[in-house]
Chain A
């Protein structure tokens, strides 16, 4: 199975900060990676697919990059509504797997 390791698992940041979350795969997954945002008590929301393709309606302050084994999700200027937990997921092979999550909290 492909393991996804997210770092950090927790980060504290202020409104307006630039935030970067890393997702590392235990083996190459090409660009078959998605990023999700989840707020407490809510279902996850797809932000980015194919490592860097922003979903319709997702603010342009979100961006994704990477291929192979290392990927990043960047929020260029953190907004109050962005405080949430973020997950990466690989779609390269079964079983599909998620990273452990990164919780972004207000500093």
Chain B
């Protein structure tokens, strides 16, 4: 059974960089027709897609966040990471990592999700 687990600091100061890692177990991050992505959820904005990466190929960013987002994959540890720079209070949210599976001709679903990590931006 595929499992995803987010980890990282729960508190980040304004203007600093938020860093989260998603550890994937029960399946390889490099196999199959899958994207690996990040989504966040806050009371103010609801669910908001951040970025998705297809290992070795494409990366897709939410244009509203692209200038501040970086995503990377570490295959040796079977994990992928998110960095969001210049954070403000508006970036306070629960951050989820998730797998998206590619289905030809369809909007790719997020079929496996991590439990979520609350990140608060505050001094």
Q: Report if A and B associate in a common complex.
A: no
Residues of A within 8 A of B (CB): none
